[in-house]
Copies of this chain bind each other. A is one copy, B any other.
Amino acid sequence: MQHFYINDITSMEQRFRARFINSLSGFKSANLLGTVSSDGITNLSIVSSAFHIGANPALLGVIIRPDSVPRDSLSNIKQTNYFTVNHVSSMIWQQAHQCSARYPATESEFDSVGLTPEFIDEIAAPFVAESQLKFALKLRQVIPLEINGTVLVIGEIIHVVCPATSVQQDGYIDIESLDTVAVSGLDSYHTTDRLSRLAYAKPELPSAFLDVSGEEIALQRKVASE
């Protein structure tokens, strides 16, 4: 095993360190953030920093770096109070990555990379038509993180669109069946294979295996109790 001490980290070449540190958190979500400016120009940026904050109310957070590509996103969100989050699947991962190129603010990434904006109801942000799981959020809070100048944007999930068949009887959404991809580092994309779902853990018992629908798998429980 190799050890990297704080001095090793601070003395790394800048882009080397960016790739190294971005690999540390583990696999990340791959999402397209959809927004529109008050002038009506749609914007799409790829983010790997979307994370769950709470289920009731349903809150999602995204870290945005104001001085990098998604600055149009932040400006648009502040203007309209809305944004969408669209899962990146193995059908659109290359177009999604291409959204990280520095297109001018007057140019829509939808056109540049070949994805289709889709407006639903009165929501002032475009969905990605090609995405199989997508949702709209209303801006709830913008928290500047003074420690490094990034911004935590918190939105409340107000509208979810996905295939009915992907939602299991217990509420779990089978995002693997939707071909949602995972990201590692800055630029590596991955499909997934399910090991299993596991039952709610209790101190006295090993966790039972669950099938995708949340039903306990009898054989596994039998093995575990032998």
Contact = CB atoms under 8 A, between A and B. Distances in A.
B159 A98 contact: no
Given A94-B198, A191-B193, A200-B187, A52 B6 contact: no
Contact of A22 (B55, B154, B189, B197): B55
A203 B159 contact: no
A88 B25 CA distance: 11
Number of copies: 2
A79 interface: no
Given A51-B25, A161-B3, A98 B206 contact: yes
A198 B189 contact: yes
B17 A58 contact: yes
A78 interface: no
Interface of A: 1-6, 9-10, 12-31, 48-61, 63, 65, 85, 87-88, 90, 93-94, 97-103, 112, 120, 133, 135, 140-141, 143, 145, 147-148, 150, 152, 154, 157-164, 167-168, 170-173, 175-176, 180-182, 184-203, 206-207, 210, 212, 214
